[in-house]
Amino acid sequence: MHDLIRTVVAYVLILGVLVFIHELGHYLAARWRGVKVETFSIGFGPAIRSWYDRSGTEWRLSAIPLGGFVKPHGFEGPDDATDEQKAAWIPGKTFHDKSVGSRAIVIIMGPVFNFIFAILAFTILFAVVGKPEVKPEISVVVSNSAAEHAGVKTGDIITRIGDLKVMSAEDIQSNVAAHPGENTILAIRRAGQDLSLPVTFDTFKQGNKVFGRLGIGFSAVPGKRMPIPTAFVSGVEATWSMCGQVLEGVWQIVSGQRSARELGGTIRIAQMSGQVAQYGIASVVSFMALLSINLGLINLFPIPVLDGGRLLFYAIEAIKGRPVSRRVQEVSMQVGMALIGALFLFSTLNDLTNIGLFHWLAHMGG
């Protein structure tokens, strides 16, 4: 019960902060471009608590902590607004009356604030704790393991697993764990030479799920505290590198190099939130930075209903000189909602499979 409470509290706090940062970007950009903001909500559903500020914005804490939103004044536009909404519009303060550039700024600043948060989080982490480094060389080969049987030696660097390009030690761990008993090829760099080693991953059972294991270890070098300017530069570099790794991982799933079973959703994020909360504030800050990068990138995908989809419409409007037709926007939004819903369902099923729910149900039914 204690673990469950810690997981729920950590998840709500971590997601709440990241959603607030994202929506704060939209809010500040709207105020900057002269748009009145009607609502700033953390969470969805009925409001647990709400209040109004001097500018007339309603701030809410809502019951379902799975996101949030900012509602600019006149966001719905003339074609979608009711007569009552139109009568309440304040001239010069509506979102739809602003230039396409101003509207794009309001939309894009949500993801931008996620990246800014990641940079600042890494900067603080590197300045206060230091930047830990995991050496790419293998430091340990477990006796009688799959790695030893394949001929892996300490000092080797794994560059590929089958067709998958390896980007980090975590990459190796996650890929091997997802493919128990698989026969594949390890691409190894040893003393400047490239080798190919056939390998069969070991298997081990944890709970009701079977995982793969290679039997290697990496050494981590404790980081030294950095001066703030150096920490900031390293924070920018870390954020940029993480963006590349996330996009590379998405491409590997799309191209079939990775299993789509690796996609995680809300339950997995909650689990990870509870786990990192055990290891102290540095681990929490690092996890939040990574999650913030993911949130920013996902929102920039050109899928209608996401920020990236709206930015795509604005780009087309800027090129053509007129907005995308209402019909095209409506159909695109419906397709986007269906796609997001399908991804949410698929990732949730993955999460439930990983925690052994379906195995437990089958066992109970048997």
Q: How far apart are CA 132 and CA 119, in angstroms?
A: 16
pTM above 0.85, yes or no: no
In contact, 351 and 265? CB cutoff 8 Å: yes
Average pLDDT over residues 174-185: 85
Element (H, E) at 187: strand 183-190
pLDDT band at 178 (very low <50, low <70, confident <90, very high): confident
Query: So what's the pLDDT on residue 167?
Result: 75
Q: Which residues have C-beta within 8 Å of that of residue 292, sequence separation ≥ 6?
A: 18, 21, 114, 115, 117, 118, 121
Query: So what's the pLDDT on residue 207?
Result: 59
Query: So what's the pLDDT on residue 3?
Result: 67
Q: Locate 357 and state its tokens.
A: 């729910």
Q: How far apart are CA 182 and CA 50, in angstroms?
A: 54
33: left (phi over 0), alpha (psi -120 to 50) or beta: alpha
Q: Determine the distance from the C-alpha atom of residue 2 to the mean position of all C-alpha atoms in its chain, rounded to a whole number.
A: 26
**pLDDT, greater one: 105 or 209:** 105
CA angle 293/331/316 to nearest 5° reads 65
Q: Locate 46 and state its tokens.
A: 């009925």
Please provide residue 44's backbone torsions phi and psi, each rounded to the nearest 5 degrees.
-120, 170
Active site residues: 23
pLDDT digits (tens, 9 = 90+) for 196-248: 999 998 887 765 677 888 888 876 666 788 899 999 999 999 899 888 878 87
Q: At what angle do helices 326-354 and 266-277 cross, to 10 degrees?
A: 50
pLDDT band at 111 (very low <50, low <70, confident <90, very high): very high
Q: Locate 74 and state its tokens.
A: 């006149």
Query: So what's the pLDDT on residue 155?
Result: 84
Query: So what's the pLDDT on residue 235?
Result: 92
Query: So what's the pLDDT on residue 230?
Result: 92
Q: How far apart are CA 39 and CA 27, in angstroms?
A: 9
SS3 readout for 192-235:
CEEEEEEEECEEEEECCEEEEECCEEEEEECCCCCCHHHHHHHH
In contact, 293 and 114? CB cutoff 8 Å: yes
Domains, the chain, ordered by start? 2-33+98-127+289-365 (no CATH), 133-221 (2.30.42.10)
* Neighbour tally for 342: CB within 10 Å: 10
Q: Does the pLDDT at position 358 exceed 70? A: no
Quote the percentage of the chain above a pLDDT of 90.
Answer: 24
| Identity at 199, one-letter amino acid code | V
Least confident piece of the model among 43-57, 146-160, 246-260: 246-260
Q: Does the pLDDT at position 19 exceed 80? A: yes
Quote the percentage of the chain above a pLDDT of 70.
Answer: 86
Average pLDDT over residues 31-39: 92
Q: Does the pLDDT at position 286 exceed 80? A: yes
Mean of all residue pLDDT scores within the chain: 82
Q: How far apart are CA 117 and CA 115, in angstroms?
A: 5
Count of CA atoms in the C-beta half-sphere (13 A) of 67: 9
Query: So what's the pLDDT on residue 296?
Result: 92
Q: How far apart are CA 145 and CA 162, in angstroms?
A: 19
3-class DSSP state of 64: strand
Query: So what's the pLDDT on residue 262?
Result: 65
Cα dihedral 241→164→220→200 (10° resolution):
170
Least confident piece of the model among 5-14, 182-191, 234-243: 5-14
pLDDT digits (tens, 9 = 90+) for 292-339: 998 899 899 988 888 999 999 999 989 988 888 888 888 888 888 888
